[in-house]
Structure formats: structure tokens, C-alpha cells
Amino acid sequence: MSDNEDRPIPGLADLETPVSESFLQYFRRKIYRRQATAQLTQFSMTMPMAIFVEFLSIIGHLFKVVDGKKGKSR
């Protein structure tokens, strides 16, 4: 890489204009909405498996209690 690649082109640097606050708010809302959707999707995919594992551990604990191994269940 040369030193010229790190510096902006002078003609293009003058064309930069600030972005309006309403555009930034609109853009952030879209990002937050997509993040919320992704988190909800992940939650809906992982929770059934976590609940299933907990049910299996409860059933395993119940069998140990019925066998008289209550103190050895943990």
C-alpha cells in the first residue's frame, strides 16, 4: 500500500455533506428493528431445546428419587 491510498481524494473530500438527523433516526430504527427480529428468532429457536433438556433433567431426577438415591442426585 502506498501513502496515497490513506489520504482522501481532495476533490471528493469537498463533496462530503452532513447527514440530517431525521435520516439517522430512520436508519437506526431500521437497524434496531432487524436486531430485535434476529434476537426473537434466535430465542424462539433455542428455547424449545432448553425446555426439553430441563424436562429430561427433571425426569432423571424423579427416577433417582424413586430409587432411593435422593442424596446422590446432584
pLDDT (average), residues 6-25: 81
DSSP helix/strand/coil, 19: coil
Which pLDDT band holds residue 26 (cuts at 50, 70, 90)?
very high
| Amino acid occupying residue 12 | L
Q: Record the pTM.
A: 0.50
Q: Is the dihedral of CA 69, 70, 73, 74 positive or negative?
A: negative
